[in-house]
Amino acid sequence: MRILMTGHLGQLAADLKGVFAGDELILTEMEDLRLEDAGRVREFVQASAPELVVNCAAYNRVDEAEDAPEAAFAANTFAVRNLALAARECGAEMVHFSTDYVFDGPGRRPYTEEDAPCPGSVYGVSKAAGEMMLQATWERHYICRVCGLYGYAGSRDKGSNFVETMLKLGAKGQPLKVVDDQILTPTSTLTVARAVKNLIGTGRHGLYHMTCEGECSWYEFAQAIFAGAGMDVEVTPVGSEAYPTKARRPRYSVLENRRLREAGLGEMPDWRAALREYLSGRAVVSR
């Protein structure tokens, strides 16, 4: 299969390149192809003639988006539409990644694909709008909502990911404080990449939640990281007010993978199992 992948230097794209290693990959980054330029995107996609477009490009700087909504919407909404239009014109399927940040309601049950988005930040609104742009533009799409991503390549925009940040801080031997009132499902990029490849094989287009199973707070996640790494680190649970941020973080954004099961793809791994796999593979990757 001939695959065009945008944002190929990110942590999710790194694992997607691995699972699609046997395919013909056309790799681009924001510096190579300005996705907000509709004309240029159309020309590039036509020349590339992909069978599948995988969009990993995004504006993920959540706090900065509060003061730069134009940049967030350019990358997370209008760039998605430009890619969708170009994919439609050449008949290519399209994979696009969204986020648990499209939800920030008062409930305490996992959100399904049928639940209406209720974002509480500019970033979340821009990602929800990107979903709707794609849904309104090209029917042959897979929208994959993910949550709490971490991968060996780290996060390009943020410089790292939560697992690597905790391991680095824990190695200093100092006590840590981690919020315990934000509940999510940590998800490794490798588990997402595997699920994406399986999903494409079904040809069942639409919106999918794609996270590991289970839920925890960031505090519980940190505890599991240190336990898995065999590190004795003092971690104290604190409320979100201890770390004020410009953008509101969802207090509960656990996603239920209902449509993946309906597609016959079974369960994603439990978040603790995915974390164990990640930690056991770090030494191999760092060689």
Catalytic residue among 59, 101, 111, 123: 123
Q: What is the residue whose two structure tokens read 């239920």? A: 256
Which residue ranges form the domains of the chain, and what is each CATH number?
A: 2-285 (3.40.50.720)
Q: Would you give the DSSP letter of residue 146?
A: E
Cα distance between residue 154 and residue 150, in whole Å: 7
Q: Which residue(s) pair with 52 in the sheet?
A: 3, 93
- Are 162 and 217 within 8 A, CB to CB? no
What are the C-alpha distances in Å from 9 to residues 31, 151, 170, 176, 284? Answer: 11, 12, 27, 30, 20
Helix or strand or coil: residue 61?
Answer: coil
Catalytic residue flag (residue 123): yes
Q: What is the residue whose two structure tokens read 């999510």? A: 184
Task: Write out the chain's pLDDT in tens, 287 residues.
Answer: 999 999 999 999 999 999 999 999 999 987 788 999 999 999 999 999 999 999 999 999 999 999 999 999 999 999 999 999 999 999 999 999 999 999 998 889 999 999 999 999 999 999 999 999 999 999 999 999 999 999 998 766 666 899 999 999 999 999 999 999 999 999 999 999 999 999 999 999 999 999 999 999 999 999 999 999 999 999 999 999 999 999 999 999 999 999 999 999 999 999 999 999 999 988 665 54
Q: What is the residue whose two structure tokens read 């799409």? A: 141
Cα distance between residue 164 and residue 279, in whole Å: 10
**Pairing, β 2-6 against β 24-27:** parallel
> What pLDDT was estimated at residue 282?
86
Cα distance between residue 220 and residue 11, in whole Å: 23
Cα distance between residue 287 and residue 63, in whole Å: 34
**Pairing, β 93-99 against β 52-55:** parallel
Token output for 201: 């094989």
Look at residues 199, 180, 186 and name the one whose alpha carbon lies nearest to residue 242: 180
